[in-house]
Every structure is written in structure tokens, then in C-alpha cells.
Structure 1
Amino acid sequence: MNATVAVTGVDDVGPETVALQLESPDGFDAVPGQFLKLSATIDGEEYGRFYTLSSPDVVETFEITVGVDPDEAGPFSRFLLDLEPGDAIEISGPFGQTFYDGESRVVVLAGGPGIGPAVGIAEAAVADGNEAAIVYRTDAPAHGDRLDALREAGASVFVAETDLADAVADAVTGSTDEQVFVYGFADFVDDALTALGATAADPEAAKVENFG
């Protein structure tokens, strides 16, 4: 789907991180873990970048999480940071096969911007009455309020600044109905799969989205 959608909200959700709420166009259908392409023309030049959904559903609105270092932000990143409710942006998608599909237990290993799909998937699983766990490697956590709400709802949330091994071992049960997801940049994905290999889970069965 290609559409122009309205911005309905902009929230500061952590260090150098904002969550954009966007209006769902008619007929739009996407699930947590899939991603969209956001596009805009800035000073006559076309820009586009992919962002993973960070909302548990797309009913009426949906959310993406944008992490930007202001000192290194390019024209498109600055454009996203300057968006306000009522502004418009072009979207296309959804894309991707690494998404929540109603599994009875989900474990999401997230690095950096991977926290967006992590909270969306975990919230969707909890809403369905399923089990959820998040292992989040960061030294500057984002979406703290939603992580706290997930804990209160019974999900397991582990935040690790460096080593993943203990947190992954605690989160993963290896049960046949458990699905592991991995979202993050290449170095995190490598570390997460190494940690996963030391558990009862099969790393090759994980749903992995490498951000490059």
C-alpha cells in the first residue's frame, strides 16, 4: 500500500528517541514486527527510510519509533524530528516476514532501535493472553513506561548494558511453543544468536531482522 498519512502524535520516549503516531489509512493491515517505508521530498530531493512498527496493532493509528543523534542527523532524520500533529508523510508497505503470528510464547531480543518492534510484539502477545519476554541491550533505555507496563502485565523484561548471556538464558525456556525474535544492528544480531546458541533454543529457528 502507498498512502499519505497524517501525524497524530509525537512523543519523547527516551534519549534521542521519539515515537510517531500516524493515522492508519483505509484498508491498511500490518502486524507487529513488520516494517514500513517513510518517504518525503525535502528541498527538491526525495528521501526514504524503513522503520519497524512499534505498536501492537494498527487500529485507527499505528506507531514507529525513531532514534536520532541530533549531531549526526541528515535531512530526512531532521525532517522526522520536526514533525508535529497535523503534518503529513508518505508511507508504503508493510514489508517483512519477521513478525508476531499469535505464538503462545514470544521472546524478543532487542538491540538499540529493536526496542520498537520488541514492545509492539510483547504488547500484542500479552493482549492475546500469551506469554512474552524481552531482552533489551542498551545503556540508554527507550520506551521505559511501556516496559514497566509490560512487567506489571506479567511479561519478563531484562535490560542488559553489555553481556547478553545471562539475560537470554533466563528468558528462553526452549519450549516447543516458544518463538524467539531478534531485532537490531549486525553486531547485536551476532551477539544475540551466540547467546541463544548456549540455551535450549535453536538459533536457526529464530525470526531475525538485521538492521544492517
Structure 2
Amino acid sequence: MNATVTVVSVHDVGPDTVAIEFETPAEFSALPGQFVKLAGEVDGEEYARFYTLSSPDVEDSFEVTVGVSEEGGPFSRHLAALEPGDTLEMQGPFGSDHYEGESRVVVLAGGPGVGPAVGIGERALADGHDVAIVYLDDAPAHETRLEELAAVGATVMMDDADADLVVHLRDALSGARDDTVFVYGFADFVDRATAALDELGHGGELKVENFG
């Protein structure tokens, strides 16, 4: 769908990282792990970027997590400077590699993949399912939500960006066929994650979102 969305709040969730909450437009429906396209104008130039949902649902509002850096360009800085009541154009949702009520969820998140990781983790736990999250980043975001997930039963492992995924995956995977593994991150992380899964012989369902 195409809609104009209104900002509810913007807050810091880590180094150079913000979470932006929007009012949910009428008839918008999405699942954790799906993504939307946000568009706006900065200094007379039009920008449009994709952002994965980081909220467990979209009932009244939905959230995206945005990294703010030189590589992110002027649009990421524009998003970080938004205030309640500001608006953007939105399209979506997009993506088929999302949470669908799986009974055991293992999320591998690299860098910006932490956004969908916390959203999926919170939703799956609320549904009464098992959750394990492996998150690699030298400057982690959403640490408070990850700590809260761990406190209510999720297995949460955090480490540096270059940590050995195989080591953490041995603890995260149950070895059962009903493990559904989600991988979210940039291409190099996705390659490392899929190689680690192959090494450990994971034969269950795999859902991958490559951020490029």
C-alpha cells in the first residue's frame, strides 16, 4: 500500500542508531521481518530507502531502526532529526522472509539486522514460542530490549562483529528440524551465517534478508 505516515517518536537506541515510531495507517498490516520503503525530500532532492520493521506488531504503531552514518547519507540524518508530527511517504510491506508463527525461532543478526531480531524475538515470545538470538556488532544497538528478552526466557548471545558464528550457533540451534533460522544483515554477514549453518548441518527452514 501507499500511505503518508506520521512520526510518533524518535529515540536513540545505540551508537549512531535511532528507532522511529510511526502511527499505523488504516488497513496497513505487516509481520515482523517485513520491510517498508520510506521516502522524503532533503534539500530539494528526493530520497527513498528500505527499512525493516523492528516492532513486534503494527497494531497501533510500527517502528523502524535507522543507522545514522556518513555511509547512510543525508536521508538517514534527516530521519534521525524527525520530530513527532512530521510525515513521510511509505510503501509496503515487502518481503517474504518474515516471522509466521514458527514454534522455535533462531535469529542471526549482523549490524542493522538487530532491528528485525528484536521485533521477531518479542513477537515469538508473546506467542509462547522459543527464541534464540545471535547478534554480532562492534557497536550494538537495542541492548535494553535484548536484555529484556533474555530476562523473560529468550537465549541472547552478543559478540563482536568478527566473532565466530559457529561457536554461538552450536548453542543457539536445538538440532531439531523445527528450528526456523532467520538471517538479517549485510552481504558479508549473510555469507558467513549461511556458511556456518552449512558447517553445522542445519537442515531446517532458513529465511534470509540480505541488506546489500
Q: TM-score, normalised by structure 2?
A: 0.96
Please state whether the residue corresponding to 1:198 is helix, strand or coil: helix
Quote the Cα distance in structure 2 between the aligned partners of 1:47 and 1:140.
Answer: 26
Counterpart for residue 164 of structure 1: 165
8 Å CA contact 2:177–2:203 kept in 1: the answer is no
Q: Does 1:177 align with 2:178?
A: yes
Quote the Cα distance in structure 1 between the aligned partners of 2:73 and 2:124.
Answer: 35
Residue by residue, what CA displacement relative to the aligned partner does 1:26-83 show, whole Å, maximum 9, x if unpaired?
A: 00100000000000022332110000000000011000000112x4442211211110
Please state whether the residue corresponding to 2:200 is helix, strand or coil: coil
Residue segments in structure 1 that go unaligned for 5+ positions in a row: none
The Cα of 1:90 is off from its aligned counterpart by 1.0
Quote the Cα distance in structure 2 between the aligned partners of 1:211 and 1:30.
Answer: 19
Alignment of structure 1 residues 66-85 onto 2, 5 Å: 66-69=66-69, 71-85=70-84
The aligned amino acid for 1:47 is Y
Q: CA RMSD in A?
A: 1.2
Counterpart for residue 188 of structure 2: 187
Counterpart for residue 198 of structure 2: 197
Counterpart for residue 140 of structure 1: 139
The Cα of 1:200 is off from its aligned counterpart by 4.1
The Cα of 1:139 is off from its aligned counterpart by 1.2
Q: TM-score, normalised by structure 1?
A: 0.96
Counterpart for residue 108 of structure 2: 109
Residue segments in structure 2 that go unaligned for 5+ positions in a row: none
Q: Does 1:209 align with 2:209?
A: yes
The aligned amino acid for 2:40 is A
The Cα of 1:98 is off from its aligned counterpart by 0.6
The ranges of structure 1 where at least 4 consecutive aligned residues each deviate by more than 6 angstroms after the TM superposition are none
The Cα of 1:191 is off from its aligned counterpart by 0.7
8 Å CA contact 1:173–1:200 kept in 2: the answer is no
Please state whether the residue corresponding to 2:116 is helix, strand or coil: helix
